[in-house]
Every structure is written in structure tokens, then in C-alpha cells.
Amino acid sequence: MGATSPADAQSAGFLIARGATGPRGPQPSDGEPPRRLASSVLTASSVLTAAVRAVDAVREAVGPRAWDGLVHRGCSVGARGASPAAAPLLLRAERGGWELLRAQVVVHGQLVTHELARLVGEAPVPAVPVPAAPAPSGQEVPEGARTWFLGAQDVADWAALSGDRNVVHRVPGAARAAGLAVGEGAVVAHGMCLAAVALGLRGAEPRGVRLRFLAPCAVTGDAVVPLWWEETTGLLRSPQGPHLRLLARGA
């Protein structure tokens, strides 16, 4: 099961995080037992490069302590034709027990907006206890779907290679303490890692995107989570349910 991950040195995911270019063109899964697709599954995307670099700028602006526990709600990237901003514009609000952060930064002439949130106070006690692993939605990987298999090592690799070492991605239990409905032993995948998978599985390079992170993608222990792209809805899904909706402009 271990060939290529979305964040290793041979994959476009890693190249995207570094701002380089790489292979294009996703390949559909072939119905074999769970495996990882070849590195060409991820598109080397200038849009995603801008988004990843904007995350770096926002993380530096808020500081490492404030970064821990922030969760991604959304991201948009669009052409602006402006010179790089000196620093991100940060807007803060509070709603429903959450501190909301909206950050805007210009990267290579593209305006990137990241929306993040932090739970204020203690994590709420769910009415129904969260199981040790996220309950599957009952949906299986559709036959012939373009699929990526994600494991805990992939999440760890993305944290190391992108520099985003938020505890929710590294420390089991931190995501649940941050207010996410996942098990105690789970870590959650980075939003930008999921975006890389979605863009790679989608294929054609867009001029701009809007990403809405619908639910965390939880990885527990040695479990591997199959992720697949749903062309008709723009959703990246797993058996846990939909994780991300991607709206693309220009392609």
C-alpha cells in the first residue's frame, strides 16, 4: 500500500508546497485492492501554490502559539494583478462560541483569502459520544472513481514539508479538543493537502478556486482513508462523508 503519498519528495503535492511545477493529469483507479496512485495524480497548480504560500504568511502573522488549534473553514484564490502585500490583512470576529479569522494576502498577483476558526473556551460535550474512529457514512468508493489513499504518514509528511505543524494535524486528541467531531485518537488532514488531492483528481488547472471545507478528514492509527472526486458536485469525499467542495473558475 505504500508507493506514493501526496507529500513525499516524488509527488506533485510536495512540489506544489515548494512552488515548483510537476506532472499533470490524474489517472482513474483501476479497481485493484487499495493502493496509492502514481505521483502524476496531483496537478502542479499555480493556484494551490499561491494558497500554500498564503498559509505560510498567515501563520507567521498570527504566530505559532495562536496558530495551534485554528481550523480551516475556507479558501479562495483569484487574479488581482497587484504587487505582493507587505503582510496579510487580518479580520477577526466572534460568533457562536468561535473566534473567526479572515486573512487576505496577495501572492504572485493573486488575491488569496483564508477563513479559519478557533473554539473559544472548552470543547463542547457532544450529545452523542464521538466514537474512537469516525463512523462511515455507508458510502463506498464508486467503481472507477479517481481515488487517493491517505494515511497518517501522509499527514505527518505534509506537516513537515509545508511547515504547517498545527497540533490538530500532529497530536492525536488535539483536533477533538479544538472542537472537531473526530475520535480521541485521530489527527486531521490539512485543508491544503485535501485541496491538492481534489485539484489533482479533478485534473484541469483553473485560474481561480473557492474551497469550502465541510468536515474534517480524520485519520486514526494505521487506517488508510480513500478519497475520491465527484465531478458532478465538486466534492471530495471519503467513507466518512464529504470533506471539501471545490468551485473552479476558468477551467
Locate the domains of the chain by residue range. 12-122+147-249
pLDDT by residue (tens digit) across 49-69? 889 899 999 999 999 889 999
Mean pLDDT of the chain: 77
* Count, residues in the chain: 251
Cell numbers describing residue 186: 485521530
In the predicted structure, residue 189 carries a pLDDT above the cut 90: yes
For residues 155 and 219, what is the distance between their CA atoms, to the nearest angstrom?
Answer: 8
What's the distance, CA 248 to chain centroid? 16
**Which CATH homologous superfamily contains domain 12-122+147-249?**
Hotdog Thioesterase (3.10.129.10)
pLDDT by residue (tens digit) across 147-173? 888 988 888 888 887 889 999 999 999
In the predicted structure, residue 200 carries a pLDDT above the cut 60: yes
pLDDT by residue (tens digit) across 201-240? 887 778 889 999 999 999 999 999 999 999 999 999 999 9
For residues 115 and 154, what is the distance between their CA atoms, to the nearest angstrom?
Answer: 24
Sheet containing 98-107: which strands, arranged edge to edge?
Answer: 89-95, 98-107, 110-119, 71-79, 208-213, 241-249, 235-238, 224-230, 147-151
Q: pTM for the complete prediction?
A: 0.80
